[in-house]
Each structure stands twice: as structure tokens, then as C-alpha cells.
Amino acid sequence: MLQHDVLVVGAGLAGMRAALEAKKQGVDVAIMSKVYPVRSHSNAAQGGINAALSEDDSWESHAFDTVKGSDYLGDQDAIEILAKEAPQAIIELENFGVTFNRDERGRLGSRNFGGASHARTYFVGDFTGQAILHVMFEQLLRTGLTSYDEWFVTQLVKDDSGAIRGVVAMDIRTGQLHLVKAKAVVLATGGMGRVYEPSTNALICTGDGMALAYRAGALLMDMEMVQFHPTTLKANGALLSEAARGEGAYLLNKDGERFMFKYAPNKLELASRDVVSRAEQIEINEGRGVDGCVLFDLRHLGAEKIMERLPQIRELALEFAGVDIIHEPVPVRPGMHYIMGGIKTDVWGKTNLDGLFAAGECACVNVHGGNRLGANSLLETVVFGKRAGAAAAEYVKSVGDVRVSEAWLRDEEARIEGLLKRPEGEKAAALRLEMGQTMTRNVGVFRTGEQLLEAQAKIQELKQRYQRVSVGDKGRIFNTNLQFVLELENMLDLAEVVVASALFRTESRGAHTRLDYPNRDDANWLKHTVATYTAAGPKLDTRPVTITRWEPQERKY
């Protein structure tokens, strides 16, 4: 029988940090991931991680920038924790062995990032996530905890009282399903980027944890808040990190005009991401773009700086746009990058379901509100991953024997058997593409009620067609085809919630810009949206925003 005190689902930065902390508290911990841990999307983070670490900076300044970046929708108690605990988190990572870049004086070096009033982004070249994830993995291996690599969670399991007490998961290598019991489950399953097509996110970012928690009764908060990153490549949506703008790269329209002077005269290209993405989209929509893009110019940085600090970006542009950024500007456009919303938690990662915790991109604490500042997400994974791990370990000490019915396993076996037995039908890949393209077209940088209704109807149609999806590969061993079909179900549920939440919020705030409701409406909408699962679709409601010291102001960059 497989049983643990704390089961962490997800082995990206949030999951690893949670597991490490829980293990430190002396309880039995296991971590589970659908990919080998270091292949998690945290590995792809390029630009860096924020902290107010230098003498002329302060946590208050970091917190205020984050509050303003969130368009006043972030919960300020959580943001204060994020900013206050950041310096220690960076030092801890450095002590673990992360080789952060250094400045001329040999101290930790920082770079500028969007929406920040100080250079407070710490980095390792343009592969910061990879550097941190590998170091964290070493730390985790040292503890000798149980690691279920390439296990895919298909269901959260409850006891008779309704508390979450484990998961049903498929060992992908054999296809066999297992019931894994736990006194507490920490979800650290990452984002849902691939609900959109294209996206900067890895193909594995399918929002599984959010969908599982939602169907189990957890609240999904602020799901209309989807971040479009200003500099993605047209060919495949690949990201060119904000580090490039941090180092001084700028944006031009087809006339060679540095158009950000019109939209954000103070911060220019380093305004927050929602502001820069809207500016680009306006330039493109009004005919001043180049083939659906604007131009991203790095030439003035010089070959030496590009090769030292942005080598991956050069490679990406060469490979996917055929452009050498040392010599030519590269066409870029806004692309889906991040979900600010997620599973609602308190500042200790606790959800509204007993026994269930969440941290990282799948969670909504809520530190990002309407718009996340670049380099605050890696920070969130370590600060709130650690807290969720500690809180889960503390919680399990008061939980007695775990009693869950074997029926959970039998039901999942029957469901998956049923999927495999379905006759020839709809193809999951086609549905996934239609969903992704619909979301990009109708739930993008700009939205209208009409577009959202169209998206809603399309998602309903796709959900109907999903009932006829067949799995081409009937085997059990490494059946990625089956996994794709299961992921698609999760993505369709989340697409439905994003659209419903976007329809519900009749104002424009942060990344959510409704052309039919163009203004921020603090009187009615200084509120979070929360979605609850019902068989008939998401039920929407609101929750208050926590304000500690920063009253809402007009937002200018």
C-alpha cells in the first residue's frame, strides 16, 4: 500500500521547495510528477527572480511595485509576505548553490525588470529557472524522500468527511493506476498555458491540478487574469525574456518609431507587461505593425553583452525566426504566458478543502492580482512553496489514520478502461487546437462580451465533442495518447472557467481588458472573482480584496 503523510504533486520549483520544507519538519513526504522533475516548466524560466536585497532598495518598494503591477487586485497581506521574505529566499538559494551572476564588485548582480522601480531581479544568465531547479533537485535528493517520477495524477481522493486524503495516479511507464493515500496533498502542478495556442509554456502545462481541485470543490480565483507577454515569437510562441528589455532592448513599429514613448513615457518598454502588450496590440491593429508583429531591437546592446547575458534569446531568435539579433531586429508579438488566477489559498497554501494545499503557479494566494510582474513568479514558488510545505507538515500531525475507499481506484480504472474502449471518434489533438485558437482569438489582450460569448459557445461544443474522443493507442505502456486525452478534459474545464470569469468581470483591470467596459471600476469590481464547480458549469461569485496600506490610485508608467 502506498501511503505518506504529505504527498506533493508537482516537482517544479514550488513542489520541490514544499517537499524540502515538509521533510525538514520530520514527517514522511513524497513528491510526484508527470515528467522527470528537472523537466518541469520552472526549468524554462529565463530572466530572473526578484528581491529587494540592495541597501538602497526596500521590501516596501518591492511590495508597492507589485501592488501597482497587480492593478490593485493583489491581496496586500500576501504581497507583504512575498516582498519581506524575498531577500532571505535569494540568500538561501545562493547558499544551496545557485551560481547567480555577480557584479563588478563581486556581489550578487541584479538587472532591471518591467514595472519595478529598482533593479532587483537576480539572475543566472538567461537560464535562471534551470539553474535554480537543478540546485533545488540536488537538495531534494539529499533528503532521500520518495519520488514518483512520471506518475500522472488523474483524481483527488476524499475520505468520508470530504477531506482530501490522497490521489489516484497512473504510473506512465506501466499504465497501471494506483491509490496513493496521504494525510495532506500539496498541489504544485504549475500553469495552464496550453489552454491557449500558441503559448510560451511547455506542452505539459495543462492545468491538471487546478482542474482536479476545481472538480473536487476548490475555488478557482481570478481566472480571467491571463498574462500576455510582450515579446514572443510568431512561429511558435516561444518567449524572448523580459531580461532583454531589462538590458536595454526596445520596441519599434513599422515606421521605426519607438512607440512606447506614447503609452508609458516614464517606464517605456519596462512598463508592466499588460501595458506593453496592449500598446503592441494597438500598433498592430492600427496598421503600424510588421506582418502581425512589432520589431524588437537589441542591436545597440552589442555582441558581447548579448553573448554573455542573453545567449539563449539569440539562439531562440535564430532558430525560430531566422534572425540574428546581433545584426537585425526580430519580429515579436504578445503571447499567452501565465495565469495570475488559480486555486484560492491563504498565505499558508491552505485551500477551502480540508487536507488540500496549493502553491506556485497553480495557486492564487493572491500576489499577482490583475497582472504579474516579471520575476515575481519564481519568487512566489520558493516563498509560498516553503510555506505550504511547512503548513502541510504541521497539519498532518493532527490527522489520524487515513481511511479512503478502494472504490476511488476502481472508479478511475473503469473510467480509463471506458476511454480506451471507445470506438473511433473525435481526435484529441484537433479539439485541443480548436480550443487553443479560440482562446487566443476571443479571450486575448482585448476582449468583448460578444467575443467571450462566442468562445463560450465553442467551448461547450468542444466539451460535447470530447464525449466522443477516442484514444488511438489502446496499450497501457507509456500511452501518451491516453494522457493527452485526460489532459484535454482538464483544459476544457479551465477554458470554460476563464471565459465565464472574463464574462463576469464587467470592467477592465490589469491583463483583463474588455473593450465594452474599458475603464477600471473600483466601485463595483475591486473584488476577486471565484468560480465553483457545478455539473451545469462554473458558478461565479466575488471575494473582497485585502488592502493593508496602499489605497488604489490611477496606474501610470
Ligand X SMILES: Cc1cc2nc3c(=O)[nH]c(=O)nc-3n(C[C@H](O)[C@H](O)[C@H](O)COP(=O)(O)OP(=O)(O)OC[C@H]3O[C@@H](n4cnc5c(N)ncnc54)[C@H](O)[C@@H]3O)c2cc1C
Annotated catalytic sites, by residue? 273
Q: Is the link from the previous residue into 198 a cis peptide, with omega within 30 of 0?
A: yes
**What is the nearest approach in angstroms of ligand X to the Cβ of residue 481?**
16
Residue 46 binds ligand X (CB under 6 A): yes
The region of 55-63, 104-112, 182-190, 526-534 touching ligand X under the rule CB under 6 A is: 182-190
Among 29, 45, 270, 404, binds ligand X (CB under 6 A): 45
Site string for ligand X, 320-339 (x = CB under 6 A): ------------------x-
11 interacts with ligand X by CB under 6 A: yes
Q: Considering the rule CB under 6 A, would residue 120 count as an interface residue with ligand X?
A: no
Nearer to ligand X among residue 80 and residue 242 (C-beta): 242
DSSP string, 31-87: EEESS-GGGSGGGG--S-EE---STT--HHHHHHHHHHHTTT-S-HHHHHHHHHHHH
Binding mask 24-43 for ligand X (x = CB under 6 A): --------xxxx----xxx-
Which residue among 189, 232, 253, 508 contacts ligand X (CB under 6 A)?
Answer: 189
Q: How far apart are CA 190 and CA 352, in angstroms?
A: 19
Residue 494 CB, nearest approach to ligand X (Å)? 12
Q: What backbone phi and psi angles, to 5 degrees, belong to 265?
A: -60, -25
Site string for ligand X, 252-281 (x = CB under 6 A): ------------------------------
**How many degrees, rounded to 5, is the angle at CA 213 between CA 208 and CA 216?**
130
- Residues 224 and 364: their CA atoms lie apart, in Å, by 12
Burial of 544 (0-12, 13-18, 19+ CB in 10 A): exposed
**How far apart, in whole angstroms, are the C-alpha atoms of residue 33 and residue 41?**
12
Please answer whether residues 94 and 404 qualify as being in contact, where contact means their C-beta atoms are separated by less than 8 angstroms. no
Among 6, 14, 347, 439, binds ligand X (CB under 6 A): 14
Of 76, 200, 281, 366, the one binding ligand X by CB under 6 A: 200
Least CB distance to ligand X at residue 412 (A): 13
Q: Which three cell numbers stand for residue 417?
A: 478502461
Under the binding rule (CB under 6 A), the answer on residue 69 touching ligand X is: no
- CA torsion sign, 439 to 440 to 446 to 450? negative
**46 versus 371: smaller Cβ distance to ligand X:** 46
Coil, strand or helix at 232: strand
Closest CB 187 distance from ligand X, rounded Å? 8
Q: Binding string to ligand X for residues 122 to 141, with x set by CB under 6 A, is what?
A: ------xx------------
Among residue numbers 342 through 371, which ones bind ligand X (CB under 6 A)? Answer: 360-362
Q: d(Cα 541, Cα 531) in Å, to the nearest integer? A: 6
Complex with ligand X: residue 88 or 448, whichever CB lies closer: 88
Which of 179, 239, 353, 462 contacts ligand X by CB under 6 A?
239
| Residue pointed to by grid coordinates 470530447 | 466
Distances (CA, A) of 545 to 284, 311, 368, 522, 533: 34, 41, 12, 11, 22
Rule CB under 6 A: say whether 447 interacts with ligand X: no
Q: Which three cell numbers stand for residue 365?
A: 494566494
| Site residues (vs ligand X, CB under 6 A) | 9-15, 32-35, 40-42, 44-49, 128-129, 152-153, 188-191, 200-201, 205, 208-209, 239, 241, 338, 360-362, 375-378, 381
